[in-house]
Amino acid sequence: MTAPATPGPAGSTTSCSLTRFLIEEQRAGRVGPDLRLLIEVVARACKSISIAVGKGALGGVLGDAGTPGAASVNIQGEAQKKLDVIANDVLLEANAWGGHLAGLASEEMDHSMPIPDVYPRGNYLLLFDPLDGSSNIDVNISVGTIFSVLRCPEGVTTPGDEHFLQPGTAQVAAGYCTYGPNTTLVLTVGHGTHAFTLDREIGSFMLTTRGMRIPEETREFAVNMSNQRHWQPPMQAYIADLLAGTTGPRGKDFNMRWVASMVADVHRILTRGGIFSYPLDAKCEAKGGKLRLMYEANPMSFLVEQAGGAASTGRARMMEVQPSGLHQRVPVFLGSRAEVEAAVGYHLEHDRAAAAAVG
Ligand SMILES: O=P(O)(O)OC[C@H]1O[C@](O)(COP(=O)(O)O)[C@@H](O)[C@@H]1O
Ligand SMILES: [Mg+2]
Ligand SMILES: [Mg+2]
């Protein structure tokens, strides 16, 4: 028997619920039943986080976690917001009982957590950034949740950090949920990237774009320009040429946007194209970069590649980086394919010239 087609061709906005979409993906053999249910659990948790975020000042959820004078700090050394902690707790609680995980790991937790055997257990590993862009939450600018799903290695029942250290190419699903003017879940299970908007009246995520496609070319870049003087030479050269516009070697003018919530910047790029970059700079060089490989760069790279874009460290394909730590940081360039290739070209050219000068 052939599986019924999921409504709508690529790029269409024919709507169905996330639940129906996933059931039809399962019938078509593109997702297994456990992964389908795991994604449903994550989506339900995102709905709860969306409600918490939406309460704002009325709900007492804004501001720093901890007590005055003793703000709580995560493993990254970053002050936690109340909503960082709330979102983390929502995802932990929902997924611990979900029955499809062997372990989970979060930006807000020092180490991964195997699912204790009092809970139902499964074969997947879930990593998440519970609240991305949390410095924006107190000023009512979009924030989000980012997640990545890996398989637990065969024979491992109590996974430790080392079992999560798989390259991005091993991801079986990835997504983010952006809490902005509307709440949108963007998902891939390796067969395209699809967007679902939360219908608050019926409480369901509805398919609003099947098969998102990132335009190959762009005239828009996203970077924190205040770091310019700290960048390395290839990044200095790349951005200088973008800023030169029609008077420079690129021969066209570029616009710039920077929300400082990766979810919001990536959502714009998935929607209308662009390049997102957080390069190495003198401030973050010792740590390897600013953004985290396992629960920021890799899931976003999977989504972007599935939408026809590209993702790189500037020197290598992001999803082929072999991770060495749960909270490892990396430089990031992702978005419109031709523009990412242009940025990578500046880095490779610089490295060739440097090697030739030494040799
Ligand atoms: O403030 P900066 O240096 O521009 O950094 C912004 C970046 O930091 C992040 O906010 C980090 O995410 P968290 O809020 O999860 O720590 C990214 O979302 C964003 O791209
Ligand atoms: Mg983040
Ligand atoms: Mg975060």
Atom of ligand 1 nearest to the CA of 76: 16
Same domain, 247 and 151: no
Same domain, 171 and 309: no
Residue 148, annotated as binding a ligand? no
Ligand 2 centroid distance, CA of 286 (Å)? 19
Ligand 3 centroid distance, CA of 261 (Å)? 9
Q: Whose CA is nearest to atom 5 of ligand 1?
A: 260
Atom of ligand 1 nearest to the CA of 227: 3
Residue 285, annotated as binding a ligand? no
Q: Point out the domain boundary residue: 142, 174, 209.
A: 209
Residue 88, annotated as binding a ligand? no
Residue 246 domain flag = yes
Residue 344 domain flag = yes
Residue 132, annotated as binding a ligand? yes
Residue 214 domain flag = no
Residue 215 domain flag = no
Q: Which residues of the chain have pLDDT under 50?
A: 1-6
Residue 66 domain flag = yes
Q: What is the pLDDT of residues 136-193, one digit of tens each?
A: 999 999 999 999 999 999 999 999 999 999 999 999 999 999 999 999 999 999 999 9
Same domain, 114 and 189: yes
| Domain extent for 67 | 18-209
Residue 18, annotated as binding a ligand? no
Q: Point out the domain boundary residue: 209, 235, 258.
A: 209
Q: What is the pLDDT of residues 80-93, one digit of tens each?
A: 889 999 999 999 99
Ligand 1 binding pocket (C-beta < 6 A) is: 78, 107, 129, 132-135, 224, 260-262, 278, 290
Same domain, 152 and 242: no
Atom of ligand 1 nearest to the CA of 258: 4
Same domain, 245 and 182: no
Residue 49 domain flag = yes
Ligand 2 centroid distance, CA of 290 (Å)? 10
Ligand 3 centroid distance, CA of 265 (Å)? 15
Predicted local distance difference test score (pLDDT) of residue 12: 57
Ligand 3 centroid distance, CA of 158 (Å)? 25
Residue 11 domain flag = no
Q: What is the pLDDT of residues 90-104, one digit of tens each?
A: 999 999 888 899 999
Same domain, 23 and 72: yes
Same domain, 48 and 118: yes
Q: Point out the domain boundary residue: 209, 243, 274.
A: 209
Same domain, 272 and 200: no
| pTM of the entire predicted model | 0.94
Name the residue of 108, 109, 132 whose CB sits within 8 Å of the most ligand 1 atoms, as the mutation to test its pocket.
Answer: 132
Same domain, 226 and 199: no
Predicted local distance difference test score (pLDDT) of residue 118: 81
Residue 133, annotated as binding a ligand? yes
Domain holding 204: CATH number? 3.30.540.10
Ligand 3 centroid distance, CA of 151 (Å)? 23
Domain holding 252: CATH number? 3.40.190.80
Same domain, 190 and 234: no
3-state secondary structure the chain: CCCCCCCCCCCCCCCCEHHHHHHHHHHCCCCCHHHHHHHHHHHHHHHHHHHHHHHHHHHCCCCECEECCEECECCCCCECEHHHHHHHHHHHHHHHCCCCEEEEEECCCCCCEECCCCCCCCCEEEEEEEEECHHHHHHCCCEEEEEEEEECCCCCCCCCHHHHCCCHHHCCEEEEEEECCCEEEEEECCCCEEEEEEECCCCEEEEEECCCCCCCCCCEEECCHHHHHHECHHHHHHHHHHHHHHHCCCCCCCEECCCCCHHHHHHHHHHHCCEEEECCECCCHHHCCCEEHHHHHHHHHHHHHHCCCEEECCCCEHHHCCCCCCCCEECEEEECHHHHHHHHHHHHHHHHHHHHHHC
Residue 9 domain flag = no
Same domain, 247 and 344: yes
ipTM: 0.98
Same domain, 86 and 31: yes
Q: Whose CA is nearest to atom 9 of ligand 1?
A: 133
Q: What's the structural domain count of the chain?
A: 2
Q: Whose CA is nearest to atom 1 of ligand 1?
A: 260
